[in-house]
Every structure is written in structure tokens, then in C-alpha cells.
Structure 1
Amino acid sequence: ALNETIIFYESPKRILATLTDMLEVFGNERKVCLAKELTKSFETIRTDIIENVIEYLSADLAHQKGEFVILISSADKIDLVDAENQLGKILPILCAEMGASKAAKLAAKITGIDKKHCYNKAIEL
């Protein structure tokens, strides 16, 4: 698990799917900050656990409109077993979207696991 805040930019069409994937990968322990329409008159910032942010967005379609920035809080500590579990979940998703080398590099940043180990796992898929 990465000991740094992670920042994502997301479109309204993918926001719920992205948060659902984040819930699966990171669990519900981490807080997220969902910032919508930054620097605009309808700017909205909501900080909560991932599950509650998903409920908020699902409650009203108007909440899903606009440009989003998602900040995921850092992990408290790196747990190797947890990091391997995360790697097993995110690596197939990343490999489906990009090459093994790029997926391994990104997975290493997210999980804190060595890039070479991530690459070896990626080419096994």
C-alpha cells in the first residue's frame, strides 16, 4: 500500500465505476476527497470513506455531472500481504488497459512492491 496521497482525474461517465474499483482495491478504510468542478461556481468538495461517496453520487444523477478530481488518503503502513493482495486485484485491470511494463510500473507505485516483481507477475497473466 502506498504511503502517499493518490490523485486521479475522472470523467462523469466513469466516476461511479472508478470509485467502485477503488473500493474493491483499497477497501473502505481509506478516506477519499471527491472534488467536483474545481474553480467553478458549482465547486463541490466531499471527504468521506469510499462507500459513502459512492452512495452520495448514486443518490442523485446531478451529483455525477462535472469534472472530478479524486484524492485517496495514504495508507497507514505498508503491509506486504495486503500489498500482494492489492497487486493481484489491480494488475489484471492495468494489463487490460496498457502494456505489461507500464502496468507493472504503475502497480509498483500503487502497492509499494518492487517493479521487477510486479513485471514478472504481469507477464504471467
Structure 2
Amino acid sequence: MTESLLYIVSTPIGNLGDMTPRAVEVLERVDVIAAEDTRHSKRLMSHFGINTPLIPCHDHNERQQAESIVNRMRNGASVALISDAGTPLISDPGFYLVRAVREAGFRVVPVPGACAFVAALSVSGLPTDRFFFEGFLPAKSGARRKRMEVLSAFEHTWGVYESPHRILDSLEDLQAVLGDEHYIVIAREITKTFETVLAGSVSDVLERVRSDSNQQRGEFVVLVEGNKKEKSSEITPEIQKMLQRLLEELPIKKAAAVVADLTGLRKKALYEHGLTFKDND
């Protein structure tokens, strides 16, 4: 008997050439496709000649559909989950379904592909060794600015999705929170005909978007450079106490690494400082 599986299938975010052969094969092979918007997905299925039945699975019915899908799988069916575009569950519904399927004892299999945030990040020129994805910010300016203030403390790159009717307001809020000179990147209509990537200071990008109505259309990824404020290199009395306490339990190298991770200070300086404690023992 063939194993019943739930496939999480990525679909193109614009350019249909980004549909992978494996995604087409899986969508043709499964018994049913759970789609965020069946009307939207019918066009994609038609383009690739996929005739698998579609059922709706979105924010408003996911819990009910999860039960139905699990029952289908218990009866031997395999199911694919797709969103309107890109990788399902990335600021889209689906996590409740995935959890329900896993708790029912079935495997969940990813079929990787396009993701607007990752695509934008890859061409941003911003550091990518660490990054944070916020999803969508609050719709109201006051709440949006409060969240931006929290995010502005991050030392690594962070990013959000934004809609065309809020992009100007969001950029103005970024200017108010980060100042004029902070470096940002906005990617618009990734992989589509009018794909645009704008990079520069907040004030420069805001002015370019404000002065060109075409740059206010489409779907946006907004990426922000992390906080680059230099940390103090001083080993304060509080840090000395922390290091000294850790040295009671850990080797110098390990204790220095832990304190460096917590404070941002250089491991070498902390290691050398730790040696002075040992010398005085």
C-alpha cells in the first residue's frame, strides 16, 4: 500500500518558469490539492495541465479542513498544500494543518521552490549570515512604529512583507524610527515583469517611491540593515563578575565564549582577562 503523505509544494511568485518539475509531478500524482484560493490556483493548474481536484484551505476554514484532510489520508489519500504564490506557510495559512497531520502520524514532505523573502534577501547586498523575517507589520501607524522600534535594535538584517496601499506609510514610519540615513532595500514584484530593487538610505528610497507612482504598485519585500552601533569594548565590573562566576564552572575558553556571545565583546580579550583571575587564584 502506498504511504499517504502531505506535500508542502512551493509555486511560482510570478515567473511561471520557476515552477519545478518535481512540483508539477507531485501535484499531478496526489489525490487532492488544498489551495489557499482555488480560483487563483485553477489558472496555474490549467497552465501546467494538472487536473487534480482542488479544495479550499485558508485562514477561515483551515481547522475544519485539517480534520477532513486527515480523514482522507487515513483512507489512503495523499494531499498537496499550495498557497497563492511561493512557499506555503510563509505568512500564509497551513501550520495548523501540518501539525494536525503530523500528530495523526503521517509524514509531511517539503517540495522547495520560490519564496519572495529569500529571493529579495539574495539580491539585497545585506548581510545574510543571520536574518529575521517579521512577516506583515501592524496596519495602523502607531502599532507599526512600536514594532519597528523593537526590530531596530536587531544587529542582523530584518525584513517584512508590505502591500502597495501601505508602502509609503511604512517607509515614512521607518524614517521616523530609524532616521534618514539608515540603509534599506525594497524589492517589488520579484520575478515579474516590473521587478524592481531599490537600495539606499531611508530618505532616498522614500523619495524615489514617493515621486514615482509605478514604484507604489505590486507586492513588496522591505529589508533593513541591522543596527551597527559599536558596542563598548570595556569589561565592566558586572561583566567581570559574570566571567568570574562562569570560571567556577567552566574552562576559561568556554567561559570567555559564553560571555562574548552575551555581551558582544571579543573572546580574546575576555580570555586574557580570565587568565588574570586564574593567575590570582
TM-score (norm 2): 0.27
Give 3-state SS (helix, strand or coil) of 2:171's partner: helix
Shift of residue 68 of structure 1?
0.5
Q: Which residue of 1 aligns with 2:208?
A: 56
* Partner amino acid, structure 2, of 1:7: G
**Correspondent of 2:181 among 24, 29, 32:** 29
Shift of residue 36 of structure 1?
0.3
Shift of residue 7 of structure 1?
0.4
Q: Does 2:186 match 1:39?
A: no
Does structure 1 conserve the Cα–Cα contact (< 8 Å) formed by 2:189 and 2:219? yes
Alignment of 1:59-98 (within 5 A): 59-77=211-229
TM-score (norm 1): 0.59
Q: Does 2:163 match 1:11?
A: yes
* Partner amino acid, structure 1, of 2:180: N
Post-superposition Cα deviations, 1:57-100, rounded to whole Å, max 9, x if no partner, equal 11121110010000000111277xxxxxxxxxxxxxxxxxxxxx
Please identify runs of 4+ aligned residues in structure 1 that moved more than 6 A: none
Q: Which residue of 2 aligns with 1:121?
A: none
The gaps in structure 1 that reach 5 residues or longer are 80-125
Q: Which residue of 2 aligns with 1:119?
A: none
* Partner amino acid, structure 1, of 2:170: T
Q: Does 2:154 match 1:2?
A: yes
* Partner amino acid, structure 2, of 1:53: V
The gaps in structure 2 that reach 5 residues or longer are 1-152, 232-281
- C-alpha distance in structure 2 between counterparts of 1:60 and 1:45, whole Å: 14
Larger Rg: 2
- C-alpha distance in structure 2 between counterparts of 1:28 and 1:59, whole Å: 17
Q: RMSD in angstroms over aligned alpha carbons? A: 1.4
- C-alpha distance in structure 2 between counterparts of 1:6 and 1:28, whole Å: 18
- C-alpha distance in structure 2 between counterparts of 1:25 and 1:59, whole Å: 22
- C-alpha distance in structure 1 between counterparts of 2:207 and 2:220, whole Å: 16
Identity %: 39
- C-alpha distance in structure 1 between counterparts of 2:230 and 2:198, whole Å: 26
What is the number of equivalent residue pairs in this alignment?
79
- C-alpha distance in structure 1 between counterparts of 2:228 and 2:159, whole Å: 17
